[in-house]
Chains A and B, each alone.
Chain A
Amino acid sequence: MAKRIDVSGLSAFYGAHKAIDDISMTVEPRSVTAFIGPSGCGKSTFLRTLNRMHEVTPGGRVEGKVLLDDENLYGTGVDPVAVRRTVGMVFQRPNPFPTMSIFDNVAAGLRLNGSFKKSELTEIVERSLKGANLWNEVKDRLNKPGSGLSGGQQQRLCIARAIAVEPEVLLMDEPCSALDPISTLAIEDLIGELKERFTIVIVTHNMQQAARVSDRTAFFNLAAVGQPGKLVEIDDTDRIFSNPSVQATEDYISGRFG
């Protein structure tokens, strides 16, 4: 299921403004990679280039290559819709479809991709909700609107929605920043389970979280406000947090700036 991501020489722009500059890295399959760095360093922008969501933003433009196993996401003839179907995403604020029930939210992606028998759909929805550790909480009210759930439940609903279509990669853009500590813990546990099946990339502002959930950590930084963000280093999480090879990383992690 999971695939390797190989990024080389990737830059992203908002109109004339260069947001990230010349980033290259490899993300291993069935692992969790965390992106950390100060605000505005482009880590979310970079994340959104990995499923071609960046170009949805007005003026958004990308240069460089992103290989998913051996296929370039930005190659000619590649359909961005197919890319997003293959690389799932969970957003900072939980965003279930407000007019849909819990069941329909999870089934939304499946219904886009073909016709399913009712029994098949029920089975996949149940499996996805179980995979998102939400089944026990919602199994009695699958037909209630998704917006009636708590923030943490909504976020797990969004994860269930994303994994229901069996993507190769799961991108998470600060998935816990709008949640309370208990919900955060639930999501972190879930990430640990999901990495058995998916390649996971997570952007976080919370360094403890990066240390807890990730196998590898990438540190992003920008030279000054208005300058493009750059990848400073990427390494095993243990190394980044104990003995990073770049001074700026150590400064950031020990709280000297950012």
Chain B
Amino acid sequence: MSHALQDQRPARAPKSAAPAGLTRGGLPRWAPAGIAALSIVLGCGIGVLADLHSKIQWGLIGAILFLVITYTASAVIENRRQAKDRIATSIVWVSFVLAVIPLLSLIWTTVSRGIKALDGDFLSHSMNGVTSFEQGGGVYHALLGTIEQVALATAIAAPIGLLTAVYLVEYGRGSLARAVTFFVDVMTGIPSIVAGLFILTTWNLALGFGPSGFAGSMALSILMMPVVVRSTEEMLKLVPNELREAALALGVPKWRMILKVVLPTAIGGIATGVMLAVARIAGETAPIMLLVFGTQLINGNPFEGAQSSLPLYIWEQYKVGSDASYDRAWAAALVLIAFVMILNLVARGIARWKAPKTGR
């Protein structure tokens, strides 16, 4: 060991020096899985013995046991650093499991309870003449309402959102663009019930219109616009500048360049963004409750009179509180989830299908 550089250096106690070797007594590789299994068994065992009703308690006992056993075993057999690393890994796994269980339970409950009342009749009939405590009835009027309201909202929000995004990416400079960007972000956070109250004050109270599907659509479009702007903006920014310059260099006016070059290049991503926004608003209840009012009958005209919608239908059936209405609520929830998930999957499908063209 040469000390040519620092001869004055005292020979240091090997406090930080490497441990005697590179190997280190460790827990076997199957240890985490083994401890997890043991904890689950113990958690369930204690749960049964102590006669705890709620599975949540079983799970929490298991989780705590898992963390404690892991830490102790590692601290005894390995060392404190290793134990800390293990406990961090365990906490991450436990938090993942803790979160996945309720989310899976949500899906499972909806599917298993919803499937009971869901059949062809349910999808093709309204609640006309069905009292809330008897079986039967259907969701047709609500499904129709949801589709019409969402379509109208999309017809309003998509063009405005698209054009705003074009403005921000292609034209926007200076303080106006900055203000729009900021308020689009803020608008993303508007609670849906506030959007509903806004349409209520203007359309219904100030202008004197009654409840209608269209009023609901306007509130939904307020919720949808910022989402469309954000996603479209991201997509337009991905269009390479070379493409724009190439088009402009050919003497194409800017608006045609945008319409013929920029938008077609980004269309897959834009469509995905719009679909995701549609999926998002299709499940909104609060503004519909304030503005569309709800009905048991089929009303195909969104501009005149009360309509229903899937989320509102679920809420109404839930409030009735009979077994039959709970069944209907779950079945409608299943229809709504299926509707939203199909929109999501289609959107992601479009994104994947179009991705190679827009990417890079």
Contact = CB atoms under 8 A, between A and B. Distances in A.
Interface in A102-155: 110, 112-114, 116, 124, 127, 130-131
A83 interface: yes
A130 B26 CA distance: 37
Given A113-B16, A114-B16, A166-B17, A86 B22 contact: yes
Contacts of B5: 131, 193, 196-197
Given A1-B1, A193-B5, A197-B5, A77 B15 contact: no
Contacts of A165: 16
B360 interface: no
Interface string B1-35: 11011100100000111110111101000000000
A189 interface: no
A83 B21 CA distance: 9
B81 interface: yes
Contacts of A113: 16
A79 B16 contact: no
A78 interface: yes
A197 B5 CA distance: 9
B6 A79 contact: no
Given A85-B18, A166-B17, A168-B18, A77 B6 contact: no
B18 A79 contact: no
A83 B2 CA distance: 23
Interface residues of B, number: 17
Interface in A80-94: 82-83, 85-86
B14 to A, nearest CB: 9
Q: Is the interface of B mostly helix, strand, loop or mixed?
A: loop
Contacts of B2: 30, 196-197
A196 B21 CA distance: 23
Contacts of A124: 16
A79 B9 contact: no
A82 B17 CA distance: 11
Contacts of B4: 196-197
A209 B90 CA distance: 47
A73 interface: yes
B81 A79 contact: no
Given A1-B1, A165-B16, A166-B17, A78 B6 contact: no
Given A110-B16, A114-B16, A130-B6, A79 B24 contact: yes
A82 B9 contact: no
Output the residue of B22, B23, B81 with the most chain A CB within 10 A: B22
Nearest to A168: B18
A158 B34 CA distance: 41
Given A166-B17, A196-B4, A112 B22 contact: no
A87 B15 CA distance: 17
Nearest to B14: A166
Given A127-B6, A127-B9, A79 B22 contact: yes
A166 B22 contact: no
A116 B18 CA distance: 15
Contacts of B1: 1, 197
B18 A86 contact: yes
B15 A79 contact: no
Nearest to B2: A196
B6 A75 contact: no
Contacts of A30: 2
A166 B21 contact: no
Contacts of A82: 18-19, 21-24
A32 interface: no
Contacts of B22: 68, 71, 73, 75, 78-79, 82-83, 86
Interface string B326-341: 0000000000000000
A90 to B, nearest CB: 18
A168 B1 CA distance: 11
A116 B12 CA distance: 13
15 contacts: A68-B22, A71-B21, A77-B23, A77-B26, A79-B24, A79-B26, A83-B22, A85-B18, A86-B18, A114-B15, A116-B16, A130-B6, A196-B4, A197-B1, A197-B5
Interface of B: 1-2, 4-6, 9, 15-19, 21-24, 26, 81
Given A1-B1, A71-B22, 8 more contacts: A71-B21, A75-B23, A77-B26, A79-B22, A82-B21, A124-B16, A196-B4, A197-B2
Q: Which 4 A-B pairs rank lowest in CB-CB distance, beginning with the nearest?
A: A77-B23, A79-B24, A196-B4, A196-B2
